[in-house]
Amino acid sequence: MSDTDYDVIVIGAGGAGLAAASAASEEGARVLVVEAADRTGGSTALSGGVFYAAGTSLQREAGIEDDTPEAMFAYYMWLNQYKLEPGLVRRLCEDATPAFEWLRRIGVAFDTDGLYASGVDKVRRGHRAAGMGAAIAEALEGSFAGRGVDVALSTRVEDLLVEEGAVRGIRVAGEPVRARSVIVASGGFGANPDMLAALYPDAARHGDLHWYIGADTCRGDGIAMGRKAGAAISHPDNRGLLLLTPGFAKELEVYLPGWLVMVNRLGLRFIDETIEYSVLSQVMNAQPERDCFAIFDEASRAASKSTPERPAPNWEAERLLDHVADGLVERADSLDALAGKLGVPAAALRNTVAQYNADVAHGEDRAFFKPPDMLRTISEPPFYAARIRAAIVCWTGTGLRIDTGARVLGTDNAPVPGLYAAGETTGGMFGECYAAGGASIANAVVFGRIAGANAARATASQDRRS
């Protein structure tokens, strides 16, 4: 391998890396993709396959004629109080539309049934792929079939080759592999406990209760290598996303049944339990000791079932009894006894439930204004409680700083020659509030394509000058 030269080397074969390889090979570059896992797809393949975009052909098919990238940008920036890199977000919003149309052309199937208002957005900009994230990853890899792209699996990059301040390849198994440009698309650091402790303390504080939904190869290698090569870091305060979990199963289940009553360690309610998961998770982590409990009674347990709007299969009636047997749900014959098991003040829990029951009888949640159809009394023993924490690391927000051309910027704010980055390896794209489901995949595909095309064009430009 050490004798082989490439125009572009892509580190990582997730959504960003595969999109980069496709764009670079389309420009005629000789491309090598290096992936630490034994398969391609990365975190994209594990995802729900939602792509966030505005002004798409699918929206028009659904009768949405007036949505635009400009409106998406305004919403995105407003939601996060402009605490983002405006240029990057603008490029994301503008290029998400053609990137979505490209995904359709290369075989990703989308239909109007999968078009929905994701996150806290009120506009239907979430485009769910048939076959979810695995279908997107498969189509991305298929898009460069026959172009001579080399893919090395089960291969972890040790370092970047830096010569006279320019990145000129990688080092694998102690051997150099040379290239004109390198694209770092190796994901974030959700699977690296040390980096989480340093850069995402909100996640690390959950200790052994936290886990990462992305690929276990996402250990922050690319970020560390980039920093060693002189790259700057964007948003070191890490605006990632933590999702809630009841600990029933090590799988993503972000929806809670809306009829639950959530209390904190003080025995107090603190939110409308039907609020979007991205908001609920943030508010949960602001509670004392980051501990919360979902309270319900026997009548609600017996009637519990999952719905298409809020899928929660682990909360179905019989499954809840299994969770009691497994020690994952507490059960008691009185609220005072339940409070004792949870370690919350009994009087506070009694008063919280009494006020809630009075509101149910009144037909209005006068504390947090939860929709009336989600109001159920907590009155029929036995009583139940499940411990809920926002401890699932969805993605990490600190990463290499890039410009709108996906060039990695150094600490002097100048591009690091020969170095590009895309996807979760980068920072500056996400703020304190997650804009919507599908934004991370859109980010990966959009900037992966930008990085691949620009890296290949830089190589061609070097050839013309030589």
154 and 262 in a single domain? The answer is: no
Query: 391 pLDDT exceeds 70?
Result: yes
pLDDT for the residue numbered 165:
94
pLDDT for the residue numbered 2:
38
Q: Do 14 and 466 form a contact (C-beta atoms < 8 A)?
A: no
Distance, CA of 290 to CA of 244 (rounded, Å): 11
Instruction: Read off the pLDDT of residues 221-252 as tens digits, 9 standing for 90 and up.
Output: 999 999 999 999 998 776 688 888 888 877 66
Higher-confidence residue of 236 and 377: namely: 377
pLDDT for the residue numbered 371:
96
Q: Do 5 and 463 form a contact (C-beta atoms < 8 A)?
A: no
Question: What's the domain count of the chain?
Answer: 2
pLDDT for the residue numbered 207:
86
Query: 381 pLDDT exceeds 70?
Result: yes
336 and 460 in a single domain? The answer is: no
Q: Determine the structural domain holding residue 318 and report its residue range.
A: 244-392
Query: 93 pLDDT exceeds 70?
Result: yes
pLDDT for the residue numbered 278:
77
Instruction: Read off the pLDDT of residues 18-47 as tens digits, 9 standing for 90 and up.
Output: 999 999 999 999 999 999 999 999 999 999
Alpha carbons within 13 angstroms on the beta-carbon side of residue 353 total 25
3-state secondary structure the chain: CCCCEEEEEEECCCHHHHHHHHHHHHCCCCEEEECCCCCCCHHHHHCCCEEECCCCHHHHHCCCCCCCHHHHHHHHHHHCCCCCCHHHHHHHHHHHHHHHHHHHHCCCCEEEEEEECCCCCCCCCEEEECCHHHHHHHHHHHCCCCCCCEEECCCCCCEEEEECCEEEEEEECCEEEEEEEEEECCCCCCCCHHHHHHHCHHHHCCHHHCEECCCCCCCCHHHHHHHHCCECEECCCCCCEEEEECCCCCCCCCCCCCCCEEEECCCCECCCCCCCHHHHHHHHHCCHHHCEEEEEEHHHHHHCCCCCCCCCHHHCHHHHHHHHHCCCEEEECCHHHHHHHHCCCHHHHHHHHHHHHHHHHHCCCCCCCCCHHHCCCCCCCCEEEEEEEEEEEEECCCEECECCCCEEEECCCCEEEEEEECHHHECCCCCCCCCCCCHHHHHHHHHHHHHHHHHHHHHHHHHHHC
Query: 160 pLDDT exceeds 50?
Result: yes
Higher-confidence residue of 2 and 259: namely: 259
Q: Do 254 and 390 form a contact (C-beta atoms < 8 A)?
A: no
Alpha carbons within 13 angstroms on the beta-carbon side of residue 409 total 17
278 and 340 in a single domain? The answer is: yes
400 and 345 in a single domain? The answer is: no
Name residues whose C-beta falls within 8 Å of residue 113's C-beta, 6 or more positions apart in sequence. Answer: none
Q: Do 22 and 33 form a contact (C-beta atoms < 8 A)?
A: no
44 and 148 in a single domain? The answer is: yes
Q: What is the mean pLDDT of the chain?
A: 93
Instruction: Read off the pLDDT of residues 413-442 as tens digits, 9 standing for 90 and up.
Output: 999 999 999 999 999 888 777 788 899 999
Neighbour count for residue 414 (Cβ, 10 Å): 12
Supply the Cα-derived Rg of the chain in whole angstroms: 24
Query: 353 pLDDT exceeds 70?
Result: yes
Point out the domain boundary residue: 358, 392, 426.
392
Torsion of CA 413, 416, 422, 428, to 10 degrees: -10
Domain containing residue 73: CATH number: 3.50.50.60
Q: Do 353 and 383 form a contact (C-beta atoms < 8 A)?
A: no
Q: Do 375 and 402 form a contact (C-beta atoms < 8 A)?
A: no
- Token pair belonging to 46: 């594990």
Band of residue 299 on the pLDDT scale cut at 50, 70, 90? very high
How much is the average pLDDT of 5-12?
Answer: 97
315 and 231 in a single domain? The answer is: no
Point out the domain boundary residue: 365, 392, 419.
392
How much is the average pLDDT of 183-202?
Answer: 93
352 and 236 in a single domain? The answer is: no
Torsion of CA 359, 364, 366, 367, to 10 degrees: 80
367 and 400 in a single domain? The answer is: no
Query: 329 pLDDT exceeds 80?
Result: yes
9 and 21 in a single domain? The answer is: yes
- Angle, helices 69-79/86-105, rounded to nearest 10 degrees: 130
Query: 108 pLDDT exceeds 80?
Result: yes
316 and 441 in a single domain? The answer is: no
378 and 402 in a single domain? The answer is: no
Q: Do 235 and 398 form a contact (C-beta atoms < 8 A)?
A: yes
Band of residue 356 on the pLDDT scale cut at 50, 70, 90? very high
Q: Which of 56-60, 253-257, 270-274, 319-323 has the lowest mean pLDDT?
A: 253-257
Instruction: Encode 92-125: b = buried (16+ Cβ within 10 Å), e = exposed.
Output: bbbbbbebbebbbeeebebeeebbbebbbbebbb
Domain containing residue 251: CATH number: 3.90.700.10
129 and 275 in a single domain? The answer is: no
pLDDT for the residue numbered 345:
98
Higher-confidence residue of 281 and 260: namely: 260
pLDDT for the residue numbered 66:
94
Point out the domain boundary residue: 368, 392, 416.
392
